[in-house]
Every structure is written in C-alpha cells, then in structure tokens.
C-alpha cells in the first residue's frame, strides 16, 4: 500500500539509506558506516548501451503503447471497430514503414503488440530490429484515484513487475515506460508528488534489474489556466522529488531516459507561449534538475499539435545541451497517419509516407534544423484532451 511505503521511507532511523549500510566492527560494540555500492547486476553495461542507442543523433521514439481501449477510440475516429485485427493492421502499418529507422530509434509497444506478428507471420519485434529500432514496452497498469489527495491519481503496476519485465526481456523488449501524472489544478498535493516520484523510482530500479532501460515519465498535465511560471515551479518540485528517490533506489542514471512534459502555460491560459519561450523555461527546468549523466530527454507531446510539438523541440536544440534532447511522441506522430489511412489497404503506402514526413520533421528538430514552411493545416490542429489517459 502507498501509505505503508511512505511510512518506510520516512523511517529515518532505518539501517539502510541509499547506498550505505551499517555494520558492527568485530570485537567491538561500536558501529561504523560501510559504503556498499549497488548496481543493476549483470545488465549495467547493456543498459547504458541501450540508452545511448536510443538517444542517438537525429532520432527519437515512436510511442504506440496506447491501451486497447484508447486505441479503440483512435480507430473509431475513422469508423473502425475496436478489434484485435484492426489494431494489428494499424500497428503493422506503423512498424513496417520502410526507412523508419533513419528517424526513429525506439518504439514503445503495448503488451498485445509486443507478442503480435504481421499478417505474414513476422514478429513485430523483428520488424523493428531490422530497422535498428529498439523495442520497448509499457509496463504500468494505469491510473487510479489516490486516497487522501485532492482528487488526484497514482499509477499502479508494481505488483508482479519483476516477473513481467523478465518475460518482456525474453520477448525482445529492451526498454520500458511507466506513465504517471501530476495535475496542477488539483494542487498538486505533496502526497501526489511523493507517490508519483516513489512509484517511478521503484519501477526504474525493478526495470534495470531485469535488463530494461526505464523511461521515467511524470507527466505534468496541460489542464488548467495557469501561466508558464506556475508550470515551471511545479515541474522543478516534481523532478527534484523524482531524482531524490531515483538515487535512494540506486538507479543508474546513465541507464535511464526521461520523458518530461514541456514547460508550457496551461491549455486554457489566455496567452499562448512562443516556441522560444517554451524552450527557455523548459531548458531552465532541466538544467536545474537533471544531471548530465542522463543520456536522453525524450519529450512527450501532451496534446500539442504536430507542428507545435516539432517547433518547440526545434527551439530547444538551437544550442548544445548536456543531454540528447529529442521526442517520444504518440499523437504528434500518428494523427495525420491515421487520417490518411482511413482503414483502407490501398492507403497504407500513403499513410506510411505521412509517418515518414512527421518522423523526418522531428528528426530535423532534434538536430535544430526544422522549418515549418510547407506544413499543412491538419498538422497545425491541437489535440489537447482534458484529463487524457492511455
């Protein structure tokens, strides 16, 4: 239970603190502190290499880890039923796009997709490997109400995570994703922030112990009418807490990736911020909170339009950063693709070309070379959904 976990955390008299333990000197009643280095067993080198591979120049992550229910909502927008066959057809379209690996280094999959194959019998994970794309897996079990909070939520899924992660590794996954959220209109309460940070840290430690690079994602929702300064304040508090508990859980920073929200005003705020302003506030937050040991910052789009998400990423890459600053987009890569496809086999090639267009645009943004000239109106439409869930 969450409360029990925090009771243990707050027990300052505990004999175990971070990477330190206490032992008794033989023949003496006195105690001395002994440093005990703790690492992610045999996977340490592999974790670092995997994280570096994903955080490679000009490439980012394609997130297609929507739950079956959420994927069904997407399919419904083009008149398709939420069946396994339709979900498979759509994800096959995405994962078999020729040349995708030039712009995409990792793909986050839902559990169903990790175990699926193409209609010709080829495993999706093998399709990705051929393009030098690292397969990833969503491991959390979704958001539920957090008792004692201000109508906030917490992310479940730690029970059985170790055994599930081991199976995902056997299936070919090499990184993982766990999404929890923080709501500014709801406070956020200290309890919600601590629960989010502690859950992410435990998930990260368990993932690394089973060979999976953890994506650390405390999404600060766009909901609200607050100014960008308020978002910055909350983001700094959240990430301070997250890194505190990552360290307490002996997580290897070189073997993780971050998936933060960009620092923007609330979606209902009266004034919209420019890409340059968003870049300034976001990089300020990151430089204050994220150690340079972390190899990659893979931003979520969070309901921004396809063009907005790309412009903001491009603005953040106009000067060198301590980390690889890139993307891990779902809707901001898929929106035009889905509308182009319309569920029709004859549209598959056109839809795959649309995916390559968006992937290349964000690849250029990662390199700081993107221009919005020539973008169509569809790509400029916002996709914000209040209280969005996967």
Active site residues: 217, 259
Q: d(Cα 307, Cα 383) in Å, to the nearest integer?
A: 11
Contact between 282 and 262 under an 8 Å Cβ cutoff? The reply is yes
Whole-angstrom distance, CA of residue 306 vs CA of residue 373: 14
Q: How far is 122 from 390, CA to CA, in rounded Å? A: 27
DSSP state of 120: T
CA dist., res. 345 & res. 97, Å (int)? 14
20 DSSP assignment: E
DSSP H or E run through 124: helix 124-130
With CA atoms as reference, report the closest residue to 176 among 219, 134, 213.
213
DSSP collapsed to 3 states, 242-273 = HHHHHHHCCCCHHHCEECCCCCCCCCCCCCCC
CA distances in angstroms from 43 to 65, 206, 211, 251, listed in the order given: 24, 12, 5, 12
What is the spatial distance between Cα 287 and Cα 283, in angstroms, rounded to a whole number? 6
Phi, psi dihedrals of residue 128, rounded to the nearest 5°: -70, -45
* 98 contacts: CB under 8 Å, gap ≥ 6: 352
Q: Let me know how many helices (H) and strands (E) the chain has, helices first.
A: 13, 12
């Amino acid at each position: 239970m969450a409360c029990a976990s925090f009771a243990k955390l707050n027990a300052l008299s505990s004999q175990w603190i971070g990477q330190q333990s206490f032992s008794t000197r033989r023949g003496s009643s006195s105690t001395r502190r002994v440093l005990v280095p703790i690492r992610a067993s045999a996977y340490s080198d592999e974790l670092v290499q995997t994280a570096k591979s994903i955080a490679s120049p000009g490439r980012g992550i394609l997130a297609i880890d929507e739950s079956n229910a959420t994927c069904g909502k997407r399919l419904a927008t083009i008149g398709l039923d939420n069946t396994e066959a339709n979900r498979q057809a759509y994800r096959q379209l995405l994962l078999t796009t020729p040349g995708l690996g030039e712009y995409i280094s990792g793909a986050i999959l839902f559990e169903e997709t990790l175990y699926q194959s193409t209609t010709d019998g080829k495993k999706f994970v093998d399709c990705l490997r051929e393009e030098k794309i690292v397969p990833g897996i969503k491991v959390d079990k979704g958001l539920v109400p957090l008792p004692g909070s201000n109508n906030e939520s917490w992310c479940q899924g730690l029970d059985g995570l170790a055994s599930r992660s081991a199976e995902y590794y056997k299936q070919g996954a090499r990184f993982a994703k766990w999404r929890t959220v923080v709501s500014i209109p709801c406070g956020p309460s200290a309890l919600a922030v601590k629960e989010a940070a502690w859950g992410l840290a435990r998930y990260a430690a368990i993932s690394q112990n089973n060979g999976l690079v953890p994506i650390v994602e405390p999404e600060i929702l766009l909901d609200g009418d607050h100014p960008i300064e308020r978002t910055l304040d909350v983001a700094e508090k959240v990430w301070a807490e997250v890194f505190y508990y990552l360290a307490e859980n002996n997580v290897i920073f070189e073997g993780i990736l971050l998936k933060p929200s960009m620092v923007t005003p609330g979606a209902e705020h009266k004034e919209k911020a420019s890409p340059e302003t968003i870049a300034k506030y976001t990089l300020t937050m990151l430089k204050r909170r994220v150690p340079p040991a972390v190899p990659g910052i893979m931003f979520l789009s969070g309901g921004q339009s396809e063009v907005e998400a790309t412009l903001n990423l491009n603005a953040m890459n106009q000067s060198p950063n301590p980390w690889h600053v890139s993307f891990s987009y779902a809707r901001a890569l898929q929106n035009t693709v889905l509308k182009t496809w319309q569920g029709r086999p004859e549209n598959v090639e056109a839809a795959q070309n649309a995916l390559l267009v968006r992937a290349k645009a964000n690849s250029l943004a990662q390199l700081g070379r993107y221009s919005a000239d020539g973008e169509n109106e569809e790509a400029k439409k916002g996709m914000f959904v209040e209280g969005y869930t996967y």
